[in-house]
Amino acid sequence: MASTAIPEQISLRVVVDKEQNRVLYAEAGKDFVDILLSFLTLPLGTIARLVSRDSNTKPCRFGCISSLYESVGNLDPKYLNSETCKQMLLQPRNSMERYNQNLKLNIDDTEPTKYYACIDCLFQGPSLVTTFKNMKCKCGRNFTFLLNPCKWLLCSPLLSGSDKNASGDAGDNTWEGYVKETASFIISDDLSVTPANFNTTLCLLKNLRSECLPEESTVVLSSNEILDLLKYLLISKTALTDSLLRKEHSLMYSDTSFKITDERQDRESTGTMKIKVLMSKSKSKILFAQVEEDFMDQLLSFLTFPLGAVERVLEGNSGAVCVDKLYNSLFNFDSTVDLTSENLKNMFANLMIAPYFNVDNQMVPIDELKYPSELSVCSNEHAIGPYYLTADASLYLRVVRRVRMCDPKPPIAEGKSSNGYAKSRTKFMVADDLSVKPFSSHHVLSSLLTELKVPHHDLEERTIRIGVQEAVSILKASMVSTSALTIGLKEFLSNNIKEEGETKTRSSG
């Protein structure tokens, strides 16, 4: 009889206040803390996809990000630059995927990055390489020839990107997660992570609310429990208690908990774009926005942003309490004592979008990870492969071809230079929850008459200029509310003035 594989599991020691039925803290080592830190590397679109699934708890919504993600899934690819664009947005790559590949429990099912060449061009002339199979090459054939990437081809923005040796084995622990095997940590109920020491223990004693000795137990976690934890990370202030003690929770956001803070005030608006919004005057609520591809690209790019990168932009104050606590815990780590690499702390402070996932004139200040400028396909055999994609051809016996990576968003054969997702000269209709559709008068009328039931006399049209501050504010609102446009633009709407039939904001000039 065939054996059944045993699912991976990890153990976690938790200390519980039985009187109040809450987790006081947990003691954890590498396996669990690596998983927590990996959450910060996940693109927002990946998180929306994962939390929409059943685990021990029901699926949950990730603010407006879930609505945006689902509407992209329903969008006809003809409204995007290529079919690859839809694939990129629904399966956004993680720029730190190499660090997550050996997690004891990895709930991210995004397909690992692979590299493809057009076999005809590779052996006959100038050649391109892409990370998406079956894209059309400029010669008209598909990219189907799989290359073996060397370990150091793309590791981090702070490493050289060159291969350490031909086998791809650098002899260190760079890909072995984030924290050292010997490290020990205390995790609070709100997912604050602190290296275990005397000071941490005394702080725990000070914060105990009961004189009774708390009870210690060991819980076994599988993928379902980790997915539960990711859900509660987004919507709870007590993620360990809610996920481990099975407390009833609505798994829903409360829009009233969101507050605009001052983190935008010093941000420079280097570029602006205009959008038209239709509002309910009585409710001061944005119903829809009519936008073009430039603003649409800004919204779609939200799905590609790593959670930790968004936290950096929002200065650790997204409004999602446990996410903020986890991110701000990074300052507690000692780079030489706790982490597998001294570079990791800086890397988390500067998490990037995966290569080629950014858009033109990206307003939200998150950089894109770049491939080395010079790449080669090489082999250690004079005859047939295997063939390696490398940044250091000197490590191999034979150089097959110098190659370059290509942006997968625009069709190569058409020679388009646009670096965005949305089809140019296309109008889109964006709802308050960031769900998107191609613009249609029928869609607008149908929503107003049947869903929203807003009378004509209550409608007001405005034109708003969107700059960096507005884009960041919409992003923040999209994380913790279901009214990203109304809440994100509230401050800017209140400063509107009418001028020659249009409404403009003083703040954006």
Residue 1 lies in a domain: no
> CB of 219 within 8 A of CB of 354?
no
Kindly give the residue spans of alpha helices, DSSP state H, lying in 400-448.
441-446
Contacting residues for 404 by C-beta, under 8 A, at least 6 apart: 128, 129, 375
Residue 200 lies in a domain: yes
pLDDT digits (tens, 9 = 90+) for 106-155: 999 999 999 999 988 888 877 899 999 888 888 888 999 999 987 666 54
Is position 111 within any domain? yes
506 in Cβ contact with 491 (< 8 Å): no
Instruction: Please indicate, yes or no, if residue 4 is contained in any of the structural domains.
Output: no
Q: Is residue 466 part of a domain?
A: yes
Which amino acid type is present at position 70?
E
Calculated CA dihedral for residues 88, 89, 93, 94, nearest 10 degrees: 170
Question: What pLDDT does residue 126 have?
Answer: 76
Q: Percentage helix, strand, coil, to 5, in the chain?
A: 30, 20, 50
Residue with tokens 């084995």: 169
CA distance 251 to 253: 7
pLDDT in tens, 248-302: 554 544 443 444 444 444 444 446 899 999 999 999 999 999 999 999 999 999 9
Structure token pair of residue 180: 């050292």
Closest CA to 331 of 353, 352, 308, 354: 308
Q: Is 2 within the bounds of a domain?
A: no
Instruction: Give the span between the Cα atoms of 60 and 482, in whole angstroms.
Output: 13
Rounded CA gap, 504 and 156, in Å? 41
In contact, 16 and 22? CB cutoff 8 Å = yes
Cα 403 versus chain centre, distance:
29
CA dihedral 175, 178, 182, 184 (to 10 degrees): -160
Is the pLDDT at 160 greater than 70? The verdict is: no
What is the rounded CA–CA span in Å between residue 436 and residue 73? 10
How many alpha carbons lie under 13 Å from residue 350 in its C-beta half-sphere? 10
Q: What is the extent of the structural domain holding 365? A: 10-505
Percentage of the chain with pLDDT > 70? 81
Structure tokens of 182? 């010997």
Tokens of 86: 């839809």
Q: Could you tell me how far CA 483 lies from the centroid of its own chain? A: 20
State percent of the chain over pLDDT 90. Answer: 60
Number of domains in the chain: 1
pLDDT in tens, 29-81: 999 999 999 999 999 999 999 999 999 999 999 999 999 999 999 999 999 99
* Cα–Cα distance for residue pair 244/233, rounded to 1 Å: 12
> Would you state the pLDDT for residue 447?
81
Is pLDDT above 70 for 399?
yes
Burial annotation 351-368 (CB, 10 A radius, 16+ → b, else e): bbbbbbbbbeebbbebeb
Please give the pLDDT value at position 480.
94
Burial class (CB in 10 A: 0-12, 13-18, 19+), 150: buried
DSSP classification of residue 444:
H
pLDDT of residue 199 exceeding 80: no
Q: Which residue has the tokens 């650790």?
A: 316
Residue 188 has pLDDT above 60, yes or no: yes
Which two three-digit tokens encode residue 173?
């622990």
Q: Does a structural domain hold residue 212?
A: yes
Q: In this structure, which amino acid lies at residue 163?
A: D
Tell me whether residue 5 is in a domain.
no
pLDDT band at residue 448, thresholds of 50, 70 and 90? confident
Look at residue 249 in the predicted model and tell me its pLDDT.
Answer: 53
